[in-house]
Amino acid sequence: MSHSPFPQRAHDQLALARGESDPAIKQILLESALYYFKKDADSNNQFARVERYMANIKMARIEPWDANLNPDDITYDVNDVDDILAKKILNDLEQRGISNIRITAQSPEGFVVKSLAKFIGPLTKSQNDFDKDVIQLIEPKPTGAANSGNTLADLGLHVDGTQHSETPAVLIFYYITGAKVGANSIFVDTAKALLDIDEERRYEILINMARPDAATFSKKNMVHTGPIFYFSPTGSLVCRIRFDDVIQVHPDCLKDYEFLKERFNDPQYAIEFRPREGDLIVFDNWRVMHARDEVYGMTVRRHWRGWVSTLKPTLQPRHYLGIRPVPTAIAAKIEAANAQ
């Protein structure tokens, strides 16, 4: 780090924080590091860097999970949406990357998605080719387009918005009617699946798949080419991947892609449940992949969907998203590979 003009006082506080095991003291040291950083550093680029550094120190605030996670542990039965609920959701988003809210007797209308998003961050103005911030999907039909929520067939693990220049940080799904059979939702924590890979191999994959031409995503006349692992403008490590024919992978990344495909699809990582009518599922799209198995029967499910582009600026110093922990040296290599 000696080559970068990293402010000394912030550096000292971070070093202390790194060695501190008491979470409360660690938090105070991190806050004071951030204070000195804002005071002493001279560019926004540096600010993103320190955020990333701190996110890694805060690995205690991530709880990677696998199939053992009980969906009941991320489900809240509540009477209304208020700031207490918002805190729980933000906490879950940071630690496990997913939350499920059940609001008593609330009819599932699009405005619920909007009011919830107010606690988290701005909704994107459009989603794929829909020019709306909250859209009502998805009535799966046998004739529906493949690889979209409109097909009855099994939907492979993916993240949303892969063909946009920025993938949305957080997704909000609000279920109006559920299927009676099939249509289970599947979620996988990529942070956990990655952590279980031997360290050296894991970093090799992260860096190799950080090349700017790692993958090309083509869907609905939209095309995006970019890295599979990269840092968001807010300093979170994003995983942009999918296992279907929307993605085309660079030949030099194919081996790693197939490796990850097998790992991420391993049932030991998947939680699976059928959302109930009125369930509001909020999750970190930079970290948690989702899928849905085949829909059966006459009752098809519909849901509202909102894409939150990023956390509100006021939340960014406090709540971390994306894949972590990643050591600073590896983060620097990923960043360098992104910029090739």
Q: Which residues bind Fe ion (CB under 5 A)?
A: 160
For Fe ion, which is the closer residue by CB, 108 or 149? 149
Q: Which residue is nearest to Fe ion (CB)?
A: 160
Q: Least Å distance between CB 292 and Fe ion? A: 8
Burial bucket for residue 333 (CB in 10 Å: 0-12, 13-18, 19+): middle
Q: Least Å distance between CB 291 and Fe ion? A: 8
Q: Least Å distance between CB 289 and Fe ion? A: 9
Q: Sign of dihedral through CA atoms 174, 66, 205, 318?
A: positive
For Fe ion, which is the closer residue by CB, 17 or 138? 138
Distance CA(284)–CA(319), nearest Å, equals 12
Chain centroid to CA 300? 27
Distance CA(203)–CA(42), nearest Å, equals 30
For Fe ion, which is the closer residue by CB, 26 or 242? 242
Q: Least Å distance between CB 264 and Fe ion? A: 15
For Fe ion, which is the closer residue by CB, 160 or 279? 160
Strand partners, 290: 158, 187
Q: Least Å distance between CB 285 and Fe ion? A: 9
Q: Least Å distance between CB 327 and Fe ion? A: 31
For Fe ion, which is the closer residue by CB, 50 or 155? 155
Q: What is the DSSP string of 267-290?
A: GGGEEEEPPPTTEEEEEETTTEEE
For Fe ion, which is the closer residue by CB, 190 or 316? 190
Q: What's the DSSP call for residue 180?
A: S
E strands, 90-233, are 98-103, 134-137, 155-158, 170-177, 181-182, 185-189, 215-219, 222-226, 229-231
Q: Token pair 């970093």 is at which residue?
A: 203
